[in-house]
Structure 1
Amino acid sequence: MSGSDELQNHMNKGMYGTPQLKPDEKRKYLGTFRERVDLTLTFEQLKEPEYLADLKQELTLHPELHVIINGQVENPLLSELMQIAQEANVTFTCNTDQTLEHGSKDLAVVVCDKNTALHVEEVDVAKRYPKTTKPEVAPKHTKSPLERLHKLFE
């Protein structure tokens, strides 16, 4: 590399900052790469107790993982998430970057490995732990005595 190229690179870093690898992906996953992610919860899913139970289960199974919490999470939920992580003996950080998205479909919690790629195919908590809904059984229509009597005389 010639001297002028090095000078240009140095000036570019000074003006624009150090180039980042996959900045949009890192922003989406609260500062980590997708291949390091094990499980994610959106702001909408965070309000569902079943998904918090699934998060507890995942952290119990994998205490070596790390939890990243979006700083836009409301305080009562933030406290609950911190308590869940502490009970599972899992490290956690709260990313308070104001540029992070915080709509209902945006990520509120990311469970990941700090340094190692996990390559987990399905990271969404709703797809990994689908809700089991009990099929609604229609109540049997019992005929009243009058209806039964009417049927006899038809």
Structure 2
Amino acid sequence: MTEDLNKRVEQAAQGITPQTKPDERRRYLGSLRERVYVRMNNTEVKDSKLTALFLQHIADFKKYTILINGNITDDGFLGEVEANCSKYSIPFTLVNNETAKTGPEDSAVLVVAKYAINRPRIEIAQVFAPEIPKSELTAPEKKEGFFHRLFHGDK
């Protein structure tokens, strides 16, 4: 315990501050999971339906900041995101450091807040889920059980 305390004091004297949750920060382009509003991974960026859905709702992100993985080679969608951010005055940042990875499940685009919002679902397909048709929302007909038919007869 005293060794950790001494090490911490030495680092503080040198101006080195330890980073909180480094694994989480690597996954979310330097931000934290608790601040993420919407996330798209590198595979979802190539899906035209999901990119159209993101661009459709981009005006809703005015009070957030958009983090864009700068190591992705898809200039079409990312160029549109940058253009729409400029159009709607949404702050955005291109992240080109070691957190910007290009694996299929790594983050490509994040919409983040400056404070913790703790959303349970952050994936774009979950945040902007398609509407359920009203026909599916109606309750199915209740089937009569054996005893009901026995005592009330077949109708």
C-alpha RMSD of matched pairs (Å): 2.9
* 1:70-126 deviation line (CA, Å, top 9, x unaligned): 11111514322211322332110011103532111111011011x211111110012
Q: For the residues of structure 2 that align with 1:5 and 1:99, how far apart are their CA atoms?
A: 27
Structure 2 partner of 1:80: 80
Q: Is the 8 A contact 1:63 1:89 kept in 2?
A: yes
For the residues of structure 2 that align with 1:36 and 1:125, how far apart are their CA atoms?
15
Question: Which amino acid letter does the alignment assign opposite residue 112 of structure 2?
Answer: C
**How many residues are matched?**
129
Matched ranges for 1:20-39 at <5 A? 20-39=19-38
Name the CA distance, whole Å, in 1 between partners of 2:20 and 2:59. Answer: 31
**Partner residue in 1 for 2:91:** 91
Alignment correspondent of 1:50 = 49
Q: Are the structure 2 counterparts of residues 102 and 116 from structure 1 closer, same or farther at C-alpha, using a change threshold of 3 Å?
A: same
Higher Cα Rg, which structure: 1
- Structure 2: distance between partners of 1:51 and 1:8: 47
Cα 1:49/1:23, change in 2 over 3 Å: same
Identity %: 27
Structure 2: stretches of 5+ with no match in the other structure: 132-155
